[in-house]
Structure 1
Amino acid sequence: MTQIYGHRGAKGEAPENTLTSFQKCLAHGVRRCELDLHLSRDSELMVIHDPTLKRTTGHRGKVVEHEAAELVTYDARKGGPGWVQPCPIPRLAELFEKCDFEHWQLEVKSASRVRAAHTVLAIQELTRRFGLVDKVTVTSSSREVLRALTRLTPELSRGLVAEYAWLDPLKIAQNYDCKLLALNWTLCTPERLLKAQKQGLHVSVWTVNEPALMRRLADFGVDSLITDFPGLASATLGNRC
């Protein structure tokens, strides 16, 4: 059975990585999501994809240069589907409070050693506080982040985000004892999929928005797919998810 993850909530239908987007995902009956995290200047986990604010809010500067209390006042509707009401950048804590997902893929972008350590420790603290340690997989393409997860927060499930095949993603996943492989769908051949699953990996492919591609990947036997359109995916895959 192929599971469905809403990409940044329901990115194709509502402003990405906002409470509105995650509520939209849940409204479709899709109870798994993928999102992106950056630390604020005061070390709060903020849900935003880019390290900078320009694309989604129109503000200048980096996320890390602003306090959380300031970031949550910024409207993140820019550059996405049209939306009438303001959609602020959320804290991860707010989503944990308000959204009943059964599993979360929390992607951490590349970071320095110090920043990676601060980020994974903040995730551990927050997931413990909300009792969600078993419902979270922290994913990254960054060796620094994966190293920090292995060293500092071994209780958190880890996942490798693989966009390119120039390094063997299965070997890297094995090196960091990952449980999940978030694979760019273009890299998902039946052979690689089978090999990954034999290695004990949950294979989650992204970003899958076309119904024909959803069906093809489900037929391959992918464990889950990440989509901007969770409602469309649910309708397309029907009893396969």
Structure 2
Amino acid sequence: MTKIFAHRGSAGTHPENTMIAFYEAERVGADGIELDVQLTKDGQIVVIHDETIDRTTDGTGWVKDFTYHELQQFNAAYKFADQYGVCRIPLLEEVLAWICSKPLLLNIELKNSLIAYEKLEQKVIDMIRHYHLEDRTVLSSFNHNSMALCHRLAPVIETALLYIEPLYEPWHYVRVMQAKGLHPYHRTVTEAFIRQARHHQIAVRPFTINGESLMKKMFQYKVDAIFTDYPRQAREVLKKTP
């Protein structure tokens, strides 16, 4: 059955990439959570999507230009502040310490396409190993060089390739990259594509699947997993999908 990953937590209903968004994902029955990681000025792994803090907090500036301590002054619940008060940008370690006692799967997206964070791959892998989460974590990125490096550093941790435009013969490419999964933009996904992926034993997890009709279509295709901002709604749609 198709797995449901809560995209940046329950990002449609809670402040994205915050602990309360991850708590909500577990509460509503998501199979896993997806989050994004970058490095602070002092080398801490923080959970945030954009390279700047402008959109998701009440501050401005580049993540890389702040220490972790400095980032704590900003409210990551900015868009939802009236509902949820103050939420801080979490450390990856905070999330892993919480999730290690849960049955949840984990997808960590490395946000290193725009900024080449030094040793981000090694730092993330070390943290995954520390919490013994190798067997239920998928690493993904639009930076496929980074995914090749992750595989060299930790062959036992699954890697997946994020992409937006259709790839030609992705089955061969994914094998060359020694990845196990494809994470395509949903508009590139067809039923025939999923059949081929299954034949080649490649996991397909499209993003970002919001809206009932799109959820239903992906469930009918029997994709391996979806990433959605609305895990509660996805769970309800999945129950009704034959």
User: Structure 2-normalised TM-score?
Assistant: 0.91
Shift, 1:31, TM fit: 3.2
Shift, 1:15, TM fit: 0.5
AA aligned to 1:195 is Q
Match of 2:185 in 1: 184
Once residues 42 and 6 of structure 1 are traced to their aligned partners in structure 2, the CA distance between those partners, rounded to angstroms, is 29
- Do structure 1's residue 105 and structure 2's residue 107 form an aligned pair? yes
AA aligned to 1:146 is M
Question: SS state of the match for residue 37, structure 1?
Answer: strand
Whether the aligned pair in 1 keeps the contact of 2:8 and 2:36 (CA below 8 Å) is yes
Once residues 161 and 36 of structure 2 are traced to their aligned partners in structure 1, the CA distance between those partners, rounded to angstroms, is 14
Match of 1:197 in 2: 198
Once residues 35 and 158 of structure 2 are traced to their aligned partners in structure 1, the CA distance between those partners, rounded to angstroms, is 15
Whether the aligned pair in 1 keeps the contact of 2:26 and 2:104 (CA below 8 Å) is no
AA aligned to 2:198 is Q
Deviations 1:180-229, CA, capped at 9 Å, x for gaps: 11111111111111212222211111111111221111111111111110
Whether the aligned pair in 1 keeps the contact of 2:148 and 2:178 (CA below 8 Å) is no
Deviates more, 1:45-54 or 1:106-115: 106-115
User: Structure 1-normalised TM-score?
Assistant: 0.91
| Aligned counterparts, 1:1-241, within 5 A | 1-79=1-79, 83-99=83-99, 100-111=102-113, 115=117, 118-165=119-166, 168-238=169-239
Once residues 7 and 98 of structure 2 are traced to their aligned partners in structure 1, the CA distance between those partners, rounded to angstroms, is 18
Shift, 1:101, TM fit: 4.8
**Structure 1 residues 232, 41: closer, same or farther in 2, change over 3 A?**
same
Which runs of 5 or more residues in structure 1 are unaligned?
A: none
Task: Figure out how many residues of one structure are paired with residues of the other and give that number.
Answer: 240
Question: SS state of the match for residue 83, structure 2?
Answer: coil
Question: SS state of the match for residue 55, structure 1?
Answer: coil
Percent identical pairs in the alignment equals 26
AA aligned to 2:95 is L
Once residues 11 and 69 of structure 1 are traced to their aligned partners in structure 2, the CA distance between those partners, rounded to angstroms, is 24
**CA-atom RMSD in angstroms:** 2.2
AA aligned to 1:196 is A
Shift, 1:239, TM fit: 7.1
Once residues 3 and 69 of structure 2 are traced to their aligned partners in structure 1, the CA distance between those partners, rounded to angstroms, is 35
Whether the aligned pair in 1 keeps the contact of 2:5 and 2:33 (CA below 8 Å) is yes
Once residues 160 and 234 of structure 2 are traced to their aligned partners in structure 1, the CA distance between those partners, rounded to angstroms, is 23
Deviations 1:122-157, CA, capped at 9 Å, x for gaps: 111101111111111100111221232133332321
- Which of structure 1's runs of 4+ aligned residues deviate more than 4 A? 111-114
Once residues 89 and 186 of structure 1 are traced to their aligned partners in structure 2, the CA distance between those partners, rounded to angstroms, is 31
Once residues 109 and 131 of structure 2 are traced to their aligned partners in structure 1, the CA distance between those partners, rounded to angstroms, is 18
Whether the aligned pair in 1 keeps the contact of 2:75 and 2:88 (CA below 8 Å) is yes
Shift, 1:50, TM fit: 0.4
Which runs of 5 or more residues in structure 2 are unaligned?
A: none
